[in-house]
Chain A
Amino acid sequence: MTAVLVIEGIAIILLALLVVGLLRSNADVMRALHELGAGEPGSDGSSRRRHRHQAPTREGASPDVAGSSLSGSAVHVGVSGAPHSTLLAFLSTGCSACVGLWEGLRTGVGMIGADDTRLVVVTKGAEAESESRLRELAPQGVSLVQSTDAWVDYEVPVSPYFVLVDGPSGAVIGEGSASSWDQVSSLMSQALADATSGRRDRLENGEFRADAELRKAGILPGDPSLYPEGPPQEDSEG
């Protein structure tokens, strides 16, 4: 009898240890999934993009670009807080898809139409680029910064890659890859139009302009005048 009780006790202790181990393992898996953003809105991999497009704050503003010029000087390009938009063109000397874009810059095709948009070419630092090739490719009259940090800061996934930043808010208003300046122009024109449309619809505090006008007129959410055909029915379960 005593032997049975001892064996049973040992079995219970082993099972308890097994349960504790499983719970710990489950917690590790859940923690890892949480860090990857699983289970949250935007878990399709858009978390980085969502962060970029959140309401602009000084803390969340896009970083300025600091690095070096081709002549070796230390340079800093103001992006957030500038009165104009900045188009950051992340190009590389080793990328075959960039060749046409470099050529377009040299011939002037790469000038973006919007007058208040500044073009800045950003390559990786000297450790990752061919200096001699860069001297051949670098266009005259266009700001060029060598900054591996900027590639990291803007989480550039491929080259060529373009990021359009609204200066006053510091928000990224468009980004993507393109293999010709026509595509870049189209991509950025659309982004600028969307951003302008958004600005027109909303006030500085983020409130919809229409909502503010209605509120000033004393019409608040739920006001009967908003529902000429009767108040909306509450959703009901069965």
Chain B
Amino acid sequence: MVRSAGIEVSVPSGWDAEIYRREADFAPQSGTPGASRPVVHLGTFPLPQGRGDFGSGAVEIMSADDLLVVLFEYGPESVGTALFARSGVPRVAAADFAPNNMQRPIAGQSGAQYFFNESGRAFCLYVVLGAHARRQELIPEVNHLLAGLTIDPA
């Protein structure tokens, strides 16, 4: 179990996880100047230090069996906008994944991105599969993880 910034995740054994805060000045669509936004990283592999908010520095060391899940919170001004209209923590599906959904394409991998709102907060969920060819095996693990995600009201 890891909990911070009103976000709680039941972390499966053997996974790495970190919840940290990103200064808004460095975050896309930053909100109130000086405010910081929570970022959650979950991986089936040792998360390296110095990685980017959307997994740069981590996706490069993923094996075909690995998964990376990123939850990035946006500012309160994003709540209620069309991009974040979807309510509730999403569940992922094989059809959502494509190699060109990656922030930076890496051979064999694929990604999917979901924007949603939950408890009056706006989030982006970004999932990377170590091997697109193994998406049918890997996706149930992601959905199991997402079922253990709790977000407190803003």
Contact = CB atoms under 8 A, between A and B. Distances in A.
Contacts of B16: 75-78
6 contacts: A73-B18, A73-B20, A75-B18, A78-B11, A78-B44, A79-B13
B142 interface: no
Contacts of A140: 49
B1 interface: yes
A74 B4 contact: yes
B20 A76 contact: no
B120 to A, nearest CB: 22
Q: Give the 6 A-B CB pairs with smallest separation, nearest first.
A: A81-B14, A73-B20, A74-B4, A76-B17, A78-B14, A81-B13
Nearest to A86: B46
Contact of B2 (A58, A76, A82, A143): A76
Contacts, number: 65
A75 B15 CA distance: 11
A161 B4 CA distance: 29
A64 B21 contact: no
Interface residues of B, number: 19
Contact of A75 (B1, B13, B17, B65): B17
Given A118-B46, A143-B46, A143-B49, A78 B20 contact: no
Contacts of A167: 14
A75 B65 CA distance: 22
A71 interface: yes
B99 to A, nearest CB: 24
B31 interface: no
B134 interface: no
A93 interface: no
A228 interface: no
Interface string B93-112: 00000000000000000000
A80 B13 contact: yes
Contact of B18 (A61, A64, A76, A80): A76
B69 interface: no
Given A66-B1, A66-B2, A143-B49, A78 B21 contact: no
Interface in B2-52: 2-4, 11-21, 44, 46, 49
Given A69-B20, A71-B20, A143-B49, A78 B3 contact: no
Nearest to A80: B13
Given A74-B3, A76-B2, A143-B46, A69 B13 contact: no
B5 to A, nearest CB: 8
A141 interface: yes
A120 to B, nearest CB: 9
Interface in B117-147: none
